[in-house]
A and B are shown apart, each in its own frame.
Chain A
Amino acid sequence: MATAARPVVFHDKQIAMAHGAGGEASRRLIEGLIQPAFANPFLDGLADAAVLAPQAGRLALTTDSFVVQPLQFPGGSIGELAVNGTVNDLAVSGAAPIALSAALILEAGLTAEVLRREIAAMAAAAARAGVSIVTGDTKVVEHGKADGMYITTTGLGLLDPRAELQVQRVEPGDRIFLSGPIGSHGMAVMLARAELDIEADIRSDTRPLGCFTSALLEAAGSGVRWMRDATRGGVATVLNELARDADLTLVLEEDAIPVEDAVRGACELLGLDPLQVANEGQFVAILAADVADAALAAVRGIAGGERACLVGEVRRDRYSRVVAHSAYGGARVIDMLIGDPLPRIC
């Protein structure tokens, strides 16, 4: 692709098939909108590949696709999710992001205004996470063949040398750490669809988690056994996967799990379990008991980490499962989410 001799401006009102065809319209879109927003030296040449210098240490590579309706919802939007989601997959792997790639599938008819907004959201989220989007691709599909836009991001990260995250290192007696109140993202999106005609001031929790995972590693080092962001399926699902993979029982103290009031109210109304509702800015970690308190204090000392808490512990039992204990001595098995969370009426 040749570098433009004069500045290219994107004045188009909406996306058409031509914007994905590689011709003049594509050039306007890329050079007039996307490249300026993501501005970084890797993109400036608009070569077919970004060229990165080799790094000392171990690399982490992750990819994720983002489809969400509506594209924008209280507290976030698809562009912000697409960056945070991938950055967070790196963070809970114990890696700091080096670079991101982004692939956009746009539906013909998408307004330029929406695209401009989402590109800006991606740029802002990348800046907040301290990473650049160094390469990408854009395709357009016919109207009616996609929900406005889909984004796939790939993240390359450098592993923190202190990170020794392995399911096999999780042991009975370890503590279960949760970074903050759960269920906000899933509920914000569900209510934003407006099909249920329910209003609440619930905002998605989408945010980069790197500062918190770094703080845990800084405070607890190899005492951090395992981390996972609790996205689709919520905390219940990631813990069930851990219980199965580690062949251990995870015991939660139900009352210790923070849930915002409005999220709880919406869950009661719709018959949903907050533990099964998606998060985009919370993660779960397993910490060695002797360093758990110090690690918790470290996270709580960071803005946005105030409501982190220890919510349970790892046990060995005949069965590998997730169990929640209540204050009055009751207990229930916490299951994985089956399919999508569906409002329960009867």
Chain B
Amino acid sequence: MKYVDEFRDPELIRKTLGEIRALADPRQHFRFMEVCGGHTHAIFRFGLNDLLPPNVELIHGPGCPVCVLPMGRMDDGLELANDPNVIFTAFGDMMRVPGSQGSPLESKARGADVRIVYSPLDAIKIAQQNPARKVVFFAIGFETTAPSTAVTLRRAKQLRLDNFFVFCNHVTIVPAIRAILDSPDMRLNGFIGPGHVSTVIGCRPFEFIARDYRCPIAVSGFEPADILQSILMILRQLRRGEAKVENQYDRVVPWEGNLAALRALAEVFEVRPHFEWRGLGFISHSALKINAAYAPWDAEQAMPMRGISVADPKAAQCGEVLKGVLKPHQCKLFGKECTPERPIGALMVSAEGACAAHFKYGVHEPPLVSLSTN
């Protein structure tokens, strides 16, 4: 598979690891946060954690849109789904996310018309095929996914679809990173920057991390060689006493981002004054809202919605895990009350959530590489 297999080449990975070992001063402890859930997933899937020297620690950040979606929003979405006249569409990732009355899959089991779509444009198609029913697309995701929702809304407007609505839960990554950096118990030596978000917003929005917090950041791809090279770039910056934004993933990430995508966002969305993040609380200017020009397609404006904030179970320590203060398995509920099959906390919900990844890939157990291959 082109642009994938080359970056999983064992020889390259071994070399990059060797260089990381040579550069990571054993007298120091390095704490790097991978912001993006896709990175968290890749790190576990490729077993990178166990390959890194023990003094290079990866902290899993808030970049899993499913995990940070607050329960109240899920409840609002499911209330729409339970209307017999509504076809509720969402990405597969959302299907097991618990609201206070259960997940979309459980709503479906009780008779709601819940459908998985691969693309928001597929939801438009469903709306065209079912003119007598209302089709709601439950939009989630960071800036990577938001442009696709924007283009979809443009299409709905062009087509003058009056039975298609978007329930917008798009969030933006920079305010969340800032919230983490401002958190008093946070100690990070570097950031592995979110590569796919950066395909849209570019690298410039991360400059404050280097400038204001003196923290190196490498915008990174998602294959093992990408992630390891990014770690290497951060280590080199640290060795030189530098803090800057580097673009490891420049085969797809333009420094300025994708201007066509940014225009689409500007045309359709506006920034919310504040938005709740599961585990992190309310963060200012951290989410997108559909603007007045697209109000007829905005489920929040066009359909009844309660908009009540629902508290997460108190015992779940998602916030501490999100900020890297606790390791997933140090949470009181981890693997006991809270498992991927019956998630309680946000981070156990998605395959990208730090807790689900720890649980699934068994990171709470001894390192896997101790089992030598033949």
Contact = CB atoms under 8 A, between A and B. Distances in A.
Direct contact of A and B (CB under 8 A): yes
B297 to A, nearest CB: 21
Nearest to B45: A332
B46 A323 contact: no
A346 B365 contact: no
A265 B341 contact: no
Interface string B26-52: 000000000001100000111110110
A315 B105 contact: no
B92 A344 contact: yes
Contacts of A265: 1
B292 to A, nearest CB: 27
A318 B366 contact: yes
B337 to A, nearest CB: 16
Nearest to B359: A335
Contacts of A332: 44-47, 361, 368
Nearest to A333: B362
Interface stretch (B114-122, B263-271, B319-327): B114-122
Contact of B340 (A319, A338, A346): A338
Contact of A323 (B45, B340, B368): B368
Contacts of B66: 346
A331 B360 contact: no
Contacts of B140: 346
A317 interface: yes
Interface residues of A, number: 36
Interface string A313-328: 1010111010101111
Nearest to A343: B92
B95 A342 contact: yes
Interface in A195-222: 195-198
A213 B374 CA distance: 27
A330 B118 contact: no
B361 A330 contact: no
A338 B341 contact: yes
Interface in B41-71: 44-48, 50-51, 64-66
B14 interface: yes
B224 A330 contact: yes
B218 interface: no
Nearest to B119: A197
B47 A331 contact: yes
Interface string A231-257: 000000000000000000101010000
A198 B119 CA distance: 11
A271 interface: yes
Nearest to B144: A346
Contacts of B105: 339
B46 A330 contact: yes
A187 B131 CA distance: 31
B371 A317 contact: yes
Contacts of B352: 346
A325 B366 CA distance: 15
B118 A331 contact: no
Interface string B98-127: 000000010000000001111100100000
Contact of B368 (A327, A331, A343): A331
B112 to A, nearest CB: 16
A197 B8 CA distance: 29
Contacts of A342: 92-93, 95-96, 116
A195 B115 contact: yes
A345 B352 CA distance: 11
A114 B31 CA distance: 61
Given A196-B118, A198-B118, A331-B368, A345 B92 contact: yes
Contact of B374 (A313, A317, A318): A313
A306 interface: no
Contacts of A331: 47, 50, 368-369, 371
Interface string B145-182: 10000000000000000000000000000000000000
A317 B369 CA distance: 12
B65 A346 contact: yes
A339 B92 CA distance: 12
Contacts of B365: 318-319, 321, 333
B103 to A, nearest CB: 10
Nearest to B374: A313
Given A249-B371, A317-B371, A331-B368, A345 B93 contact: yes
Nearest to B36: A346
Contacts of B362: 319, 321, 333
Contacts of B95: 342
Contacts of B10: 326-329
Contacts of B215: none
Contacts of B340: 338
A291 interface: no
A222 B361 CA distance: 34
A186 to B, nearest CB: 14
28 contacts: A251-B373, A253-B373, A326-B8, A326-B10, A326-B47, A328-B9, A328-B10, A328-B14, A331-B50, A332-B45, A332-B46, A332-B361, A333-B362, A338-B340, A339-B96, A339-B105, A343-B118, A344-B91, A344-B92, A345-B93, A345-B145, A346-B64, A346-B65, A346-B66, A346-B93, A346-B142, A346-B144, A346-B145
Given A318-B365, A326-B10, A333-B368, 13 more contacts: A270-B118, A319-B365, A323-B368, A328-B14, A329-B10, A329-B14, A329-B369, A330-B46, A331-B50, A331-B368, A333-B362, A338-B340, A346-B93
